[in-house]
Amino acid sequence: MVDRHRVELVVNGETETREVEPRRLLVDFLREDLGLLGAHIGCEHGVCGTCTVLMNGETIRSCITFAVQADGQEITTVEGLASNGKFHPVQEAFWEKQGLQCGYCTPAMMLRTVEILRENPSPTREQVREGIASQLCRCTGYQYIIDAVLEAARTMSAGTQTDGKVPVTQGAGPSSAEAAAQTPGAGPALEEEAEDASRQKES
Amino acid sequence: MGGGAMKPAPFAYHVPSALTEALAVLDELGEEGRILAGGQSLVPLMNFRLAQPTHLVDINRLDELDYIRRDDGVLAIGARARQSALERSQEARGAAPLLVEAVAQVAHPPVRHRGTVCGSVAHADPAAELPAALLALDAEVVASSRQGERRVPIHEFISGPFTTTLVPGELVREVRVPLSGAGSGYAFAEFSPRHGDFAVSGAAVLLELEGGQVERASVALCGVAGMPVRAAGAEQSLRGARGSEEELEAAAAAAVEGLTPSADLHGGSDYRRRIARVCVRRALNLAFSRARGGA
């Protein structure tokens, strides 16, 4: 009776096929159908930015996008940033500069950072402030986050990543709770979620 | 299958892959059909269940409508063109820089990556930047249906708050923007408490100078009425102006005369009018300096 649509999409480098109701929001699809709990739910109307993921390399709000609209597209969540057990330079920088407190906004903040630095590899502090304005953080006052973005810009342009490869448009890494657990954006909240991912259920 | 989280009410989903197919579906659905373009305004409304369309026609697969190009002396923007594409378009920067300046102030990049220019026009939010800029530019809206096509000046197309003259079965296929002259001055200035929020008010200004004097002025405001409005009083007062302090001040005052913006949590009616006046003043200042600089 319920209208269901088949969707096939690439999430963090892996092809996923599911049948979904058209009204299924992408963020619910990622979290509940795929167990990728790094995409967080905040305001659920596109304002806070905590559900931000990359679609074909561009940041989008997954809470105001339907899963059916991701059919045939490539999605990268925070779980796709690390590769071969190594942090993405952006994750490294957030870790080093303590660019987080509770961690709730962090996965989306890092994905937005990937995009900011792709468009402008050496932004000024002011440009970073404007760039991350799409993402709300209720803890930090943003200063350490800005430090982290600038640090990522510095390390990435210095080419310190030894394999010289920066996954941006496509998640190259393992798409699993394992990667999420390694995410420096993961305060205790995210680590718990990563464990929960194996049970396909959030706490 | 995962859990049962479903914010929006159920709907039937249609995803045509060609314009003719989309128009046929819309024709069949009539009143029931609602178009899903970027979804950046519609889906929040659906999440709140303030909107509960029974049929959604997703036009995101209509690649043929993804264009921003010069066409017969105007800048034509197709229904699938994203706001971020407008922002990056060199063609648009040359042809209608006012529109590019306005779009950069719409929400944030993750929203502009999905949101469309035509969708903003069809949604007709009185606080939105693009309808006001398009109004200042005397843009034209192309509404297509299975029966044919009609072109409507934007001031006739938008008829009230979130209301247009689009009829069931029609789709905003394109907006057409007259090219701005090389020597014209332009500016879009808005004020919002936080960067990226809806503005309390905003002003779009387009000036054409002749021998240092205003030959033609266009001033449009958002956030001060139930729909974007042209400030005819200001436009008149600017004719022949050379850009002195007094002239700009008088034009800004004329722009908000008679307006009674509705109050909300960001401020009362007087406050909004005051802000609108300041926005006009700032936009005029910038437009004059650009017109003089030939930029």
- List, for residues A79-113, the tens digit of each pLDDT value: 999 999 999 999 999 999 999 999 999 999 999 99
Of B3, B84, B196, the CB nearest to A134: B196
Q: The tokens of B171 are what?
A: 């789709």
More confident residue, B279 or B198: B279
**CA B212, chain centre distance (Å):** 29
Q: How confident is the model at residue A1 (pLDDT cuts 50, 70, 90)?
A: low
What average pLDDT does chain B have? 95
Section B146-173 average pLDDT: 98
Domain membership of residue B200 (yes or no) is yes
Taking 60 as the threshold, does the pLDDT of residue A188 lie above it? no
pLDDT for residue B294? 54
Which residues 24-43 in chain B show a CB within 8 A of chain A?
36, 39-40, 43
**What are the pLDDT digits (tens) for A28-72?**
999 999 999 999 999 999 999 999 999 999 999 999 999 999 999
Cα B219 to Cα A169: distance, rounded to the nearest angstrom: 41
Tell me, yes or no, whether B156 and B73 share the same domain: yes
* B143 lies in the same domain as B213: no
Asked whether residue B159 falls in the same domain as residue B210, the answer is no
Q: Which of B58, B77, B94 is the last residue of a domain?
A: B58
Tell me how close the Cα of B211 comes to any Cα of chain A, in angstroms: 38
CA distance A164 to chain B (A): 27
Specify the DSSP class assigned to residue A166.
-
**Whether residues B192 and B289 fall in one domain:** yes
- State the average pLDDT over residues A120-136: 97
Same structural domain for residues B228 and B170? no
Q: Judge: A46–B40 Cβ closer than 8 Å, yes or no.
A: yes
Chain-chain contact of B47 with A61 (C-beta, under 8 angstroms): no
Q: Which residue has the tokens 């302090």?
A: B245
Q: Is B104 on the interface with A (CB under 8 A)?
A: no
- Here the CATH number for the domain that contains residue B98 is 3.30.465.10
Within 13 Å and on the Cβ side, how many CA atoms surround B13? Answer: 22
Q: State whether B51 and B142 are in the same domain.
A: no
Residues B83 and B162 in one domain: yes
- Are B165 and B78 contained in the same domain? yes
* pLDDT, average across residues B73-96: 97
What proportion of chain B, given as a percentage, has pLDDT over 90?
Answer: 91
The closest CB to that of B60, out of A29, A63, A69, belongs to: A69
A31 to chain B: closest CA residue = B2
Does residue B31 share a domain with residue B68? no
Does B58 sit within 8 Å of A64, measured CB to CB? no
In a domain, B3, yes or no: no
Total-model pTM: 0.89
Total domain count, chain B: 3
User: Is B4 part of a structural domain of the chain?
Assistant: no
Inform me whether the C-beta atom of residue B50 falls under 8 Å from chain A C-beta atoms.
no
B160 located within any domain: yes
B7 domain residue, yes or no: no
Structural domain harbouring B226: 185-293
The residue out of B143, B178, B213 marking a domain boundary is B178
**Residues of chain A positioned with their CB less than 8 A from the CB of B16:** none
B13 to A33: CB separation less than 8 angstroms, yes or no: no
B2–A29 CB contact, under 8 Å: yes
B12 vs A contacts (CB less than 8 Å): 3, 22
Is there a single domain that holds both residue B54 and residue B154?
Answer: no
Of A64, A69, A133, the CB nearest to B108: A133
User: What CATH number is attached to the domain comprising B22?
Assistant: 3.30.43.10
Residue B3's pLDDT band (boundaries 50, 70, 90)?
A: low
CB atoms within 10 A of CB A150: 19
Indicate the residue of A3, A69, A130 with minimum beta-carbon distance to B195: A130
Residue B199, in any domain of the structure? yes
Domains plus CATH for chain A?
1-193 (3.10.20.30)
The Cα A129–Cα B145 span in angstroms is 44
The pLDDT, as a whole number, for residue A144 is 97
Q: Which residues of A99-137 are buried (b: 16+ CB within 10 A; e: fewer)?
A: bbbebbbbbbbbbbbbbbbeeeeebeeebbbbbbbbbbb
How much is the ipTM here?
0.93
B5 contact A CB<8A: yes
CA distance B238 to B253: 12
Residues of B in contact with A25 (CB under 8 A): 5, 7-8, 43, 47
Q: Is residue B205 part of a domain?
A: yes
Q: Which two tokens stand for residue B172?
A: 């905003």
Contacts of A32 in chain B (CB under 8 A): 2-3, 5
**pLDDT at A159 (0 to 100):** 78
Residues of A in contact with B43 (CB under 8 A): 25, 46, 64-66
Check residue A168 and give its pLDDT: 53
Query: What CATH number corresponds to the domain at position B199?
Result: 3.30.390.50
- Tell me whether residues A134 and B108 touch, CB distance under 8 A: yes
* B149 within domain boundaries: yes
Q: CA nearest B134: which of B165, B163, B162, B175?
A: B175
Cα–Cα dist B57/B13, whole Å = 6
Mutate one of B14, B17, B43 to test the A interface: name it (highest A CB count within 10 A).
Answer: B43
Q: Are residues B77 and B54 in the same domain?
A: no
B105 in contact with A at a CB cutoff of 8 Å? no
Is residue B147 domain-shared with residue B230, that is, in the same domain? no
